[in-house]
A and B are shown apart, each in its own frame.
Chain A
Amino acid sequence: MTVVEDRPATSDAPPPRRGNPVWALLRNSWRQLTSMRTALILLFLLAVAAVPGSIFPQRGVNRENVAEYFAAHPKLAPQLDRFFAFDVYSSPWFAAIYLLLFASLIGCVLPRLRDHVRALTTVPPKAPQRLDRLPHHDSGPQRPEEPAAAAAEVARLLRRRRWRTRLRETPDGWTIAAEKGYLKETGNLLFHFAMLAVLVGVGFGHWYGWHGNRLLVEGTDQGFCNVITQHDESVLGPWVDASDLPDFCLRMTKFDATYQSTGVPKSFQASVGVSEDGGEYRSRTFTVNDPLRLAGANVYLLGQGYAPVLKFTDRYGAEQTKVVPFLPTDGMLTSEGVVQFPDVNIDPATGKRDPALQMGFEGVFLPTGGTDGSAVSKFPAADNPVLYLAAYRGDLGLDVGTPGSVYALDRQQIADGDLKKISGERPYVLRPGEKWTLDDGSALEFAGIRRFATISIRHDPTQGVMLVGAVLGLAGLMLSLSVHRRRVWFRVTPAGSGSVIEAGGLPRTDYSAFGEEFAALTRHIKEGTP
Chain B
Amino acid sequence: MAELSNQLMALTVLAYLAAMVCYAGEYAFGKRSHIGKAATRELVGAGGPPVASQEEAAAPAEGRDPLIGRVAVALNLVALVLHLGTTVTRGIAADRMPWGNMYEYILSTALIGSAVWAGVLLRKPAVRHLGLFASLTLVVLLGAAALIAYTPVGPLVPALNSYWYVFHVSTIIISSGILLVGVVPAAMFLIKNGWDAGKRGFPYTLGKRVGDAGTLERLTFRLHAFAFPLFTFGALIAGPLWAEASWGRYWGWDPKEVWAFISWIVYAAYLHARATPSVKRTTATWIAMLGFLTMLMNLFGVNLFFEGLHSYADAG
Contacts and interface: CB of A to CB of B under 8 A. Distances in A.
A477 B232 contact: yes
A266 B236 contact: no
B272 interface: yes
Contacts of A512: 46-48, 218
Interface string A450-477: 0000001010100100110011011001
Contact of A302 (B240, B248, B273): B248
A2 B248 contact: no
Main DSSP-derived SS at the B contact region: helix
Contact of B258 (A54, A260, A265, A456): A54
Interface residues of B, number: 57
A477 B228 contact: yes
A512 to B, nearest CB: 5
Contacts of B262: 47, 50-51
Interface in A52-91: 53-55, 58, 60-61, 88-89
A228 B96 CA distance: 42
Contact of A291 (B49, B245, B265): B245
A50 B157 contact: no
A5 B229 contact: no
B268 A467 contact: no
Nearest to B221: A510
B14 interface: no
B265 A46 contact: yes
A47 B269 contact: yes
Contact of B249 (A44, A55, A289, A460): A460
B159 A54 contact: no
A37 interface: yes
A260 B155 contact: yes
A39 B272 contact: yes
A40 interface: yes
Contacts of A478: 229
Contact of B248 (A36, A456, A474, A515): A456
Contacts of A123: none
A118 B17 CA distance: 57
B258 A510 contact: no
Contacts of B38: none
Interface string B206-240: 00000000000010010001101100110011001
Contacts of B276: 4, 36-37, 40
Interface in A265-292: 265-268, 287-291
B4 interface: no
Interface in A480-520: 481, 510, 512, 515-516, 519
Nearest to B161: A289
A24 interface: no
Contact of A262 (B49, B154, B218): B154
Interface string A361-386: 00000000000000000000000000
Contacts of B258: 50-51, 53-54
B49 A515 contact: yes
Interface centre among B46, B241, B247 (most CB of A within 10 A): B247
Nearest to B226: A481
A61 B252 CA distance: 7
A289 B48 contact: no
B273 A40 contact: yes
A300 B247 CA distance: 7
Interface string A25-52: 0000000000011011001101100110
A266 B278 CA distance: 56
Interface residues of A, number: 57
Contact of B48 (A54, A288, A467, A515): A515
Interface string A397-418: 0000000000000000000000
A143 interface: no
Contacts of B218: 510, 512
A367 to B, nearest CB: 17
B248 A50 contact: no
Given A54-B259, A58-B253, A512-B218, A37 B278 contact: yes
A110 interface: no
A61 B48 contact: no
B159 A481 contact: no
Contact of A477 (B229, B279, B306): B229
A480 to B, nearest CB: 9
A44 B47 CA distance: 31
Contacts of B236: 470
Contacts of B272: 36, 39-40, 43
A260 B218 CA distance: 50
B158 A268 contact: yes
B277 interface: yes
Interface centre among B46, B162, B229 (most CB of A within 10 A): B229
A437 interface: no
A304 to B, nearest CB: 10
A393 interface: no
Ranked 5 nearest A-B pairs via Cβ? A300-B248, A1-B275, A54-B258, A289-B162, A54-B255
Given A46-B265, A54-B306, 12 more contacts: A47-B294, A89-B253, A264-B157, A265-B158, A288-B158, A289-B158, A289-B164, A289-B245, A300-B247, A458-B249, A471-B237, A474-B237
Interface of B: 46-50, 154-155, 157-159, 161-162, 164, 218, 221, 225-226, 228-229, 232-233, 236-237, 240-242, 244-250, 252-255, 258-259, 261-262, 265-266, 268-269, 271-279, 294, 302, 306
12 contacts: A1-B274, A2-B277, A4-B275, A4-B276, A40-B272, A53-B253, A260-B154, A262-B154, A474-B229, A481-B228, A512-B47, A515-B48
